[in-house]
């Protein structure tokens, strides 16, 4: 290997390193945004969120009504309240110690990514 080849290889490694660094650095931002399509699946799937056992959500057959209608509830939340909405899903006991809503985050029923996805879906219910 000539001196030039070694220099070129080092250059490539540096670029690959930088690319990986930026990809990893971007993940939390992307993850926080949440995927509304996945979120819809999570809230209506029995083995995942099963939110519809207690909450009205649109286009669902006979949703429950133990909890508030989430379409109505979401109208009161702006994007600035995203942390509160997330907290409701993660662990509602922060707002009501006697809540019957399962602490999806604290009990690891849903992963932080799944909670972000569910919250992203809830925000699609906001009427502009
Ligand atoms: C066992 C019933 C139950 C399940 C399952 C449930 N919730 Fe709830 N949820 C409630 C109740 C009851 C409330 C009303 C607040 C309280 O607990 O005092 C509530 C409140 C909320 C609120 C706050 C609404 C407001 O008026 O500000 C949000 C947001 C919410 N739930 C989202 C979800 C999501 C998303 C899921 C599924 C991942 C879910 N809930 C699953 C019972 C439930």
| Nearest residue by C-alpha to atom 36 in ligand 1 | 51
Per-residue confidence (pLDDT) for residue 54, from 0 to 100:
98
Ligand 1 atom closest to residue 110's alpha carbon, by position in its atom list: 38
Cβ of 9 closer than 6 Å to ligand 1, yes or no, is no
Cα separations in angstroms, 35 against 7, 18, 67: 42, 27, 24
Q: What is the mean pLDDT of residues 31-46?
A: 91
Q: How far is the CA of 99 from the centre of ligand 1 (A)?
A: 8
Q: Among the listed ranges 4-8, 54-58, 111-115, which one has the minimum average pLDDT value?
A: 4-8
Residue among 48, 101, 117 to mutate when testing ligand 1 (max atoms within 8 A of CB): 101
Q: Where are the alpha helices (DSSP H) in 1-128?
A: 3-33, 36-44, 70-74, 82-90, 112-123
pTM of the model: 0.82
Q: Take residue 2 and report the two structure tokens written for it.
A: 């000539």
Give yes or no for residue 107 having a pLDDT over 90.
yes
- Residues 10-25: tens digit of each pLDDT: 777 777 766 666 666 5
List the domain boundaries for the chain: 1-33, 34-123
Asked: is 34-123 a CATH 1.10.760.10 domain? The reply is yes
- Residues 51-105: tens digit of each pLDDT: 999 999 999 999 999 999 999 999 999 999 999 999 999 999 999 999 999 999 9
Q: Take residue 52 and report the two structure tokens written for it.
A: 């519809």
Per-residue confidence (pLDDT) for residue 31, from 0 to 100:
46
Q: What is the mean pLDDT of residues 34-38?
A: 97
């Amino acid at each position: 290997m000539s001196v030039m080849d070694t220099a070129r290889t080092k250059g490539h490694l540096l670029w690959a390193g930088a690319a990986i660094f930026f990809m990893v650095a971007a993940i939390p931002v992307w993850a926080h945004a949440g995927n509304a399509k996945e979120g819809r699946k999570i809230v209506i799937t029995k083995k995942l969120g099963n939110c519809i056992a207690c909450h009205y959500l649109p286009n669902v057959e006979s949703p429950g009504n133990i909890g508030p209608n989430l379409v109505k509830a979401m109208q009161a939340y702006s994007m600035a309240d995203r942390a509160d909405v997330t907290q409701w899903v993660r662990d509602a006991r922060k707002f009501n110690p006697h809540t019957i809503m399962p602490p999806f985050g604290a009990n690891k029923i849903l992963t932080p990514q799944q909670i972000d996805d569910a919250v992203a879906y809830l925000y699609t219910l906001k009427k502009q």
